[in-house]
Amino acid sequence: YTQAKALVFSKPGEPADVLSLHSHSISPSLPSSSVLVRSLAAPINPADINTVQGTYGAKPPFTSLIGTPEPSATPGNEGVFEVLSSSSSDFTKGDWVIPAISQFGTWRTHAVAEASKFIKVEKDGLSPLQVATVSVNPCTAYRILRHYGPNAGVKAGLGMRPLEVGSGEWFIQNGANSGVGRAAIQFGKLWGLRSINVIRERETEEATAALKQELEGLGADVVVTESQFMSREWRDQLAEITRKGREQIGLGLNCVGGKSATAIARSLGEGATMVTYGGMAKQPVALPVGLLIFKDIRFLGFWLSKWNEKDVEGRKHMINDILSLIRARKFRDVPVDEVKWDWDTEESTLRDAVQGGLQGFRKGKGVFVF
Ligand code: NDP
């Protein structure tokens, strides 16, 4: 028998209140076409925390499969596992796999699942952290940039058109320091787009300057602080960046909501698209009607889970494409805050790591490392 542990919750609530660590054992006789895996790394993404809180767009199934006293779910959308044994010919011992489905439940030391729930990853030249963080943040930035812009709509009239690689077109984003934001900066650079990136001011000027520099190092063309971006002077500064509007901003990426989202919308050119994918400020998006009527700006939402369901093959292709860029050192890792999880790790350590995951001004994304 394999001894395993999993973080579980049986009712929605604050992670610190509702998460518990459950021990169980896994039988050595695998069902047919199944795989036994051990975890290598699993990130703590904002969506996972929202899932525990019960505010996310999808609810995980609550089951008694691992013998919890009440039906429970294990959170965690992404991660990388090593195959320990397999009754499917698709996988062999030592392979690295990532979940093929949303809400797999990656916050656990081991898992048994049908082979179809996994995608094999070519592990050569990659670290567990790189593979564990590929399928949510980078894929979101990749999909949005590829599909929506920039300037989707302007040239093609009412329809959307795919990205013209190397067009030098501008996009603008808030939450530029997020995992998605950093990925968008890098893909933008690789694909010949130019980016304006909004970050929140740090505690000291030095720290703000250091973050700016870091994002410029990733390929950001312009980095501005939120206060600069919200000020009266921004209009003139933007005019300068866009050569008095001769170069329009065709795409806005909204990670934040609230006033920041309104300011993104005001920065866009005629016929541009604003894609909302996150709501970190927990504030609604308010839009001046003139932007809808006179500037014909399109406002859309994006949800990666839906895209993944609709385009399974496209997702695999995208993940392989991104992993190749990582191997070729053309795409840099997101800063992480490693949370060691071994057999003796206390429940409270794991719970606190999750609870802290939505706090701002962090040094990196929390990732369980096994
Ligand atoms: P990270 O954990 O990597 O980063 C969080 C970011 O949010 C940081 O840039 C942080 O800025 C910022 N932030 C935190 N609190 C606030 C606040 N109150 N106001 C403004 N900004 C804040 O995040 P991810 O990249 O993993 O996710 C970012 C967002 O994207 C989340 O809302 C997530 O749910 C969403 N998302 C959506 C997807 C979709 O399919 N729709 C897919 C993937 C992510 P700072 O550094 O200044 O603290």
Is the Cβ–Cβ distance between 219 and 197 less than 8 Å?
no
Ligand 1 pocket test: pick from 143, 180, 285 the residue with the most ligand atoms within 8 Å of its Cβ.
180
pLDDT of residue 152: 43
Write the residue with the smallest CA distance to atom 8 of ligand 1: 178
Atom of ligand 1 nearest to the CA of 46: 34
Rounded to the nearest angstrom, the distance between the alpha carbon of 178 and the centre of ligand 1 is 5
56 included as an active-site residue = yes
Rounded to the nearest angstrom, the distance between the alpha carbon of 87 and the centre of ligand 1 is 39
Helix (H) or strand (E) holding 42: strand 34-43
Write the residue with the smallest CA distance to atom 5 of ligand 1: 178
Write the residue with the smallest CA distance to atom 14 of ligand 1: 360
Write the residue with the smallest CA distance to atom 35 of ligand 1: 278
Write the residue with the smallest CA distance to atom 22 of ligand 1: 280
Confirm or reject: Cβ of 300 under 6 Å from ligand 1: no
Q: How far apart are CA 31 and CA 304, in angstroms?
A: 31
Rounded to the nearest angstrom, the distance between the alpha carbon of 275 and the centre of ligand 1 is 14
Rounded to the nearest angstrom, the distance between the alpha carbon of 296 and the centre of ligand 1 is 27
Smallest CA-to-CA distance from 141 within 302, 284, 281, 282 is with 302
Confirm or reject: Cβ of 366 under 6 Å from ligand 1: no
- CA pseudo-torsion sign 141, 96, 86, 29: negative
Confirm or reject: Cβ of 261 under 6 Å from ligand 1: no
Q: Which residues contact 238 (CB under 8 A, 6 or more apart)?
A: 196, 267
Is the Cβ–Cβ distance between 320 and 328 less than 8 Å?
no
Q: How far apart are CA 52 and CA 13, in angstroms?
A: 6
* DSSP string across 209-259: HHHHHHHHHHT-SEEEEHHHHHSTTHHHHHHHHTTTTTS-EEEEEESSBHH
Confirm or reject: Cβ of 150 under 6 Å from ligand 1: no
Atom of ligand 1 nearest to the CA of 260: 20
Q: Which residues contact 46 (CB under 8 A, 6 or more apart)?
A: 278, 280, 357, 358
Q: Checking DSSP bridges between strand 34-43 and strand 110-114, what pairing results, if any?
A: antiparallel
Is the Cβ–Cβ distance between 19 and 7 less than 8 Å?
yes
∠ Cα 27 30 31 (to 5°)? 125
Q: How far apart, in Å, are the Cα atoms of 140 and each of 110, 182, 270, 304? A: 27, 11, 24, 6
Backbone angles phi, psi at 369, to 5 degrees: -120, 125
pLDDT of residue 104: 97
Rounded to the nearest angstrom, the distance between the alpha carbon of 104 and the centre of ligand 1 is 21
pLDDT of residue 159: 39
Ligand 1 pocket test: pick from 52, 102, 214, 255 the residue with the most ligand atoms within 8 Å of its Cβ.
255
For the chain, list residues with pLDDT below 70.
Answer: 149-168
Rounded to the nearest angstrom, the distance between the alpha carbon of 347 and the centre of ligand 1 is 25
pLDDT tens digit sequence for 116-160: 999 999 999 999 999 999 999 999 999 999 888 664 433 434 334
